[in-house]
Amino acid sequence: MRFYVDFAEAKNEITRDLAELGVDVQPETMQDIYVADRPEFSTKELQNYAYTVSNPDYVLIEGAHWDWVKQEWEDRLLGGLNPGHAWKQRPEVWEQFIEGRGRGDKRWEKFAYTYSERMGGPHIEKVVDELREHPHSRQLWVPVWYPNDENRRGERRVPCSLGYWFVHRGGQLNVTYVMRSCDFATHWANDVALASLLLHHIAQRAELEVGSLTQFIGSFHVYAKDVASVF
């Protein structure tokens, strides 16, 4: 486990770890797109990477796409949105994953999932309510991965995030953000910005001090196409 003061320090050290310790892997898919024969999607990968940031202030995160982050955060607070509005801030990344195009009915034009559907709206408020009633609970888990995701791997997109675990200790609210997979170049800064926003939001709603953010990533990687801009 690595410990960092803030996200700026974390980013510097993560970049060095990926460059020096990353193992070359050619994945079969990226999201639900077949890339086994595309060398630009070869990765430098770290497995089971974990670190803690003691001052998880999202303002200190460099490289986040803030227009997208702010809209995605609004989508998650509303809850239940698909496709939502955030994807329009980064159409070059997200438009390719909208399903149902060409049917002549925009009601079919949705993503395989959205975080707004999975963990937004009332799901966030349930954690706030539970903290107020049972402030030292170990059961404050906000799931993103659903059991039926097991049945569609390789056919439709499944979440990179598994969920968020909150725990109130020593007068502070801490979060552990668990991911099965994370693309350092394209998504990491946005992912941790949203996790930090969620931590600050729940702490404020529950009238608690903000503690640390811990992230655990099964496959932490950077694609060959992005190496030049990262290292």
Q: Which CATH architecture has domain 2-230?
A: 2-Layer Sandwich (3.30)
Backbone angles phi, psi at 100, to 5 degrees: 85, 10
pLDDT at 131 over 80: yes
> What percent of the chain shows pLDDT beyond 90?
89
Please compute the mean of the pLDDT values over residues 23-46 and round it to a whole number: 95
d(CA 92, CA 54): 34
Band the pLDDT of 100: cuts 50, 70, 90: confident
pLDDT in tens, 152-208: 766 789 999 999 999 999 999 999 999 999 999 999 999 999 999 999 999 999 999
Closest CA to 86 of 59, 67, 62: 67
Name residues whose C-beta falls within 8 Å of residue 26's C-beta, 6 or more positions apart in sequence.
36, 39, 41, 42, 43
The domain limits of the chain are 2-230
Bridging pattern class, strands 43-53 and 2-4: parallel
pTM of the model: 0.95
Query: Which one has a higher pLDDT value, 115 or 60?
Result: 115
Rounded CA-CA distance 99/109 in Å is: 5
From start to end of 67-199, where are the E strands?
Answer: 140-143, 161-169, 172-183
Nearest to 213 by CA among 226, 227, 196, 201: 196
Q: N- to C-terminal Cα distance for the chain?
A: 22
